[in-house]
Amino acid sequence: MINLVLFGKPGAGKGTQALFLKKQYNLVHISTGDLFRNNIKRETSLGLLAKSFMDHGDLVPDQVTIDMLEAEVDQNLQANGFIFDGFPRTKSQAGALDTFLSKKQMEVSATIALEADDDILIERLLYRGKSSGRTDDQDEEKIRNRFEEYNKKTALLRDFYTKQNKFHSINGIGTINEITNRLTKLIKTL
């Protein structure tokens, strides 16, 4: 079983590469943003609970997020593993993920950070913002703020997973196929 945590700044190609990994290795891609939206849309008890926090401008507590992740894993036990995208974001969430997976006799196999120069990512995001209409990708200042937030949070996670010998950095610059090949080489070593 392969369980991956995928990191990368906005525009680094996480979504694109997650699609490849999902197909190539029969993994389930779990994006916490999608998970929240789906649970809220379906009005599950966890979705309604998360919405109650969000409606008040509060962060959804880690335990609610973990409970959603656990429910998603339980619904997909036939998979060869999982890609966790957008979670964990803090050291305490990483510890909670390890605890939850160990209860299922599973563990994080690797954390992979797609690394790319900020200026290149800004170009990608501004281009994406024009074609997709996403307002968060149309303002360079907002993009830089998102990068700063990523840097603050990921630094702690880099240390957490490095201590477990599970942190890997992949060059996120190049063609989609070049990046995919780098990922494939890494996964073959797990």
Residues acting as catalytic residues? 14, 89, 128, 134, 146
Q: How far apart are CA 82 and CA 140, in angstroms?
A: 32
Nearest to 27 by CA among 50, 43, 47, 6: 6
Q: How far apart are CA 80 and CA 97, in angstroms?
A: 18
Nearest to 22 by CA among 31, 9, 32: 31
CA angle 98–103–104, rounded 5-degree value: 100
Helix or strand (DSSP H, E) at 11: none
**Strand ranges in the chain using DSSP code E only, listed in sequence order:** 2-8, 28-31, 81-85, 110-115, 167-171
